[in-house]
């Protein structure tokens, strides 16, 4: 779909539209689940002027949020949340039941973890639907916001067994770290339902954003979300494999991405090579889409290759660290710069940095990590090794043989490399995000190993 001109940017500091003018016409919104998606969506919907009640199972969290405390690290969220609370159109309550009473729109923002076999585990969604179904007002619209498999809207409709309640899919496209901006200035709003009027009513909640609206069947909407995430993951796996090839043939992946990105059919986004992609969405959604296809007997080999290529990117990063250490990591002190799955988040879930840490730990490396959002030692968890946390990047680097930059935090780009060379004389920096200036590293007396490009020599 053609991208329309950007709508008015609604910044967190702007005063929400008055309750009287907006919300009554639309009907009250309940948001069930105040994880990253629910809290951002609920707060932003309130920022658009709607009356929003967020319900969560955790009473202590509800109490903290009611005081304006944001439990996640998300730029601009706290300010917008406090504005909504102060304006009186954003409230937090304990339990789904308390949130849904009198609501016209009920957004389900519930966890849908990997069930272990690649399929999303929908038990929480179904439990909540069973709990709130009988309490919904006639004419209510149940909206699935979290990523759910194709057919979920239909399953919920069947489980509800209520002709007077509609079910609509409205997937989120929020990136951690820029979620408020993504919500307020979306590339598109996707809404899918077999009930066109209900879909249009949900789409109308976003009118102020003046974004392109894509109204589809529920199945298409559900699949748009998976297809978008899996496509982006595939793009990243592709450029990471190109990085591996570039190193062998003496090319430069940064130049290649630059040259490719001018082609509007390709686009210049999501072409930065790195230590693989991770986070709570791409790995889970790519596997889930592969399973959806498999379950329906549809061949989709690209998805398995996308995941495999990602594992290989992580392997290659560990290989580079081993090579930098002279071929053997046993007992070698390695500093990890960055632990989160990307910059500007405190999220460690499925972090490529931890995947690389695991590979290095298995070979006997002595790890020490620094991340701006990690203040305590990471315990061994979910198959990942324990990583002692340093107070800053220099502290982590002290005495290290190899420093590997894994997350593209801006503060690493500003680092004083002379000071690094003082605390880690003769160290090799393996730059897994091509973030540092190779000349500056060399001038400081450090060996610098980039990713997917030639190593600069003096």
The catalytic site residues sit at: 281
Q: Does 236 bind ligand UGA (CB under 6 A)?
A: yes
Q: Which is nearer to ligand UGA, 89 or 286 (CB)?
A: 286
Nearest to 324 by CA among 360, 355, 351, 353: 360
Give min distance, CB of 438 to ligand UGA, in A: 19
Q: Which of 132, 143, 253, 281 binds ligand UGA (CB under 6 A)?
A: 281
Q: Does 361 bind ligand UGA (CB under 6 A)?
A: no
Q: Which of 12, 47, 192, 278 binds ligand UGA (CB under 6 A)?
A: 278
**SS3 sequence of 16-31:** CCCHHHHHHHHCCEEE
Q: Which stretch binds ligand UGA (CB under 6 A): 65-73, 244-252, 260-268, 273-281?
A: 273-281
**SS3 sequence of 161-209:** CCCCCEEEECCCCCCCCCHHHHHHCCCCEEEECCCHHHHHHHHHCCHHH
Give min distance, CB of 97 to ligand UGA, in A: 26
Q: Which stretch binds ligand UGA (CB under 6 A): 103-111, 279-287, 360-368, 388-396?
A: 279-287
* Alpha helical stretches, state H, 325-384: 352-362
Looking up tokens 């308390």, which residue turns up? 98
Give min distance, CB of 181 to ligand UGA, in A: 12
Q: Which is nearer to ligand UGA, 89 or 407 (CB)?
A: 407
The three-state secondary structure class of 439 is helix
Which residues on neighbouring strands pair with residue 190, listed in sequence order?
214
Q: Which is nearer to ligand UGA, 107 or 341 (CB)?
A: 341
Q: Which is nearer to ligand UGA, 89 or 280 (CB)?
A: 280
Give min distance, CB of 329 to ligand UGA, in A: 23
Backbone angles phi, psi at 235, to 5 degrees: -60, -40
Q: Does 282 bind ligand UGA (CB under 6 A)?
A: yes
Q: Which stretch binds ligand UGA (CB under 6 A): 79-87, 169-177, 183-191, 216-224?
A: 169-177
Q: Which is nearer to ligand UGA, 137 or 187 (CB)?
A: 187
Extract the tokens encoding 301: 């080999």
Backbone angles phi, psi at 164, to 5 degrees: -95, 10
**Pseudo-torsion of CA 213, 214, 218, 223, nearest 10°?**
-120
Q: Does 270 bind ligand UGA (CB under 6 A)?
A: yes
Give min distance, CB of 353 to ligand UGA, in A: 9
Backbone angles phi, psi at 416, to 5 degrees: -85, 100
Sign, CA dihedral 232-118-34-341, equals negative
Give min distance, CB of 209 to ligand UGA, in A: 16
8 A C-beta contact, residue 451 and residue 243: yes
Q: Does 172 bind ligand UGA (CB under 6 A)?
A: yes
User: What is the pattern of x (binds ligand UGA, CB under 6 A) and - over residues 328-357?
Assistant: -------------xx---------x-----
Q: Does 175 bind ligand UGA (CB under 6 A)?
A: yes
Extract the tokens encoding 217: 């069947």
Q: Which stretch binds ligand UGA (CB under 6 A): 22-30, 85-93, 274-282, 374-382?
A: 274-282
In angstroms, rounded to a whole number, what is the distance separating the alpha carbons of residues 179 and 142? Answer: 22
Binding-site size, ligand UGA (CB under 6 A): 21
Extract the tokens encoding 109: 């923002």
Q: Which stretch binds ligand UGA (CB under 6 A): 168-176, 211-219, 298-306, 410-418?
A: 168-176
Summary count for the chain: helices (H), strands (E): 18, 13
Q: Which stretch binds ligand UGA (CB under 6 A): 272-280, 380-388, 393-401, 441-449?
A: 272-280
Q: Which of 47, 76, 274, 283 binds ligand UGA (CB under 6 A)?
A: 274
Q: Which is nearer to ligand UGA, 51 or 222 (CB)?
A: 222
Give min distance, CB of 28 to ligand UGA, in A: 25
8 A C-beta contact, residue 388 and residue 368: yes
Sign, CA dihedral 262-263-265-269, equals negative
402-405 and 428-431 beta bridge pairing: parallel
Q: Which residues 29-48 are close enough to bind ligand UGA by CB under 6 A?
A: none
Which residues on neighbouring strands pair with residue 169, listed in sequence order?
144, 192
For the CA atoms of the chain, what is the radius of gyration?
A: 24
In angstroms, rounded to a whole number, what is the distance separating the alpha carbons of residues 153 and 140? Answer: 15
**Within 13 Å of residue 411, how many CA atoms lie on the same side as its CB?**
11
Sign, CA dihedral 73-74-75-79, equals negative
Q: Does 147 bind ligand UGA (CB under 6 A)?
A: yes
Give min distance, CB of 185 to ligand UGA, in A: 13
In angstroms, rounded to a whole number, what is the distance separating the alpha carbons of residues 143 and 205? Answer: 12
Give min distance, CB of 224 to ligand UGA, in A: 11
Site residues, ligand UGA (CB under 6 A): 147, 172-176, 229, 232, 236, 270-272, 274, 277-279, 281-282, 341-342, 352
């Amino acid at each position: 779909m053609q991208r329309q001109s950007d709508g008015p940017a609604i910044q967190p500091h702007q005063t929400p539209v008055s309750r009287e003018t907006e919300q009554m016409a639309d009907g009250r919104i309940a948001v069930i689940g105040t994880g990253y998606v629910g809290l951002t969506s609920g707060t932003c919907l309130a920022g658009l002027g709607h009356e929003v009640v967020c319900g969560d199972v955790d009473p202590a969290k509800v109490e903290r949020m009611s005081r304006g405390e944001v439990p996640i690290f998300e730029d601009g969220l706290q300010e917008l949340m406090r504005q909504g609370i102060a304006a009186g159109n954003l409230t937090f309550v304990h339990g789904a039941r308390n949130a849904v009473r009198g609501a016209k729109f009920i957004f389900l923002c519930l966890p849908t973890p990997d069930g272990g076999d690649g399929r999303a585990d929908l038990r929480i969604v179904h439990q909540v639907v069973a709990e709130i179904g009988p309490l919904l007002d006639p004419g209510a619209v149940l909206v699935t916001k979290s990523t759910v498999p194709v057919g979920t809207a239909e399953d919920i409709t069947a489980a509800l067994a209520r002709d007077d309640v509609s079910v609509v899919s409205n997937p989120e496209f929020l990136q951690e770290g820029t979620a408020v901006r993504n919500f307020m200035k979306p590339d598109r709003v996707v809404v899918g339902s077999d009930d066109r009027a209900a879909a249009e009513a949900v789409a109308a909640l976003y009118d102020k954003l003046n974004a392109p609206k894509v109204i589809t069947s529920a199945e298409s909407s559900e699949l748009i979300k998976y297809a978008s995430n899996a496509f982006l993951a595939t793009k990243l796996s592709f450029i990471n494999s190109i990085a591996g090839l570039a190193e062998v043939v003496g090319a430069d992946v940064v130049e290649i991405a630059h040259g490719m990105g001018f082609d509007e059919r390709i686009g210049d986004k999501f072409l930065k090579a790195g230590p693989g992609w991770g986070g709570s969405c791409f790995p889970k959604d790519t596997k889930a889409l592969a399973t959806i296809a498999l379950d329906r007997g549809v061949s989709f080999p690209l998805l398995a290759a996308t995941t495999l290529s990602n594992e290989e990117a992580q392997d290659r990063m560990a290989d580079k660290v081993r090579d930098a250490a002279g071929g053997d990591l046993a007992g070698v002190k390695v500093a990890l710069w960055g632990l989160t799955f990307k910059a500007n988040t405190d999220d460690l879930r499925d972090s490529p940095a931890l995947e690389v840490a695991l590979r290095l730990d298995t070979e006997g490396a002595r790890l020490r990590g620094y991340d701006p959002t990690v203040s305590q030692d990471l315990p061994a968890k979910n198959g990942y090794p324990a990583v002692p946390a340093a107070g800053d990047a220099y502290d982590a680097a002290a005495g290290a043989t190899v420093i590997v930059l894994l997350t593209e935090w801006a503060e690493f780009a500003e680092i004083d490399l002379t000071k690094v060379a003082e605390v880690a004389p003769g160290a090799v920096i393996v730059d897994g995000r091509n973030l540092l200036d190779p000349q500056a590293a060399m001038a400081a007396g450090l060996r610098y190993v980039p990713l997917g490009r030639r190593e600069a020599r003096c």
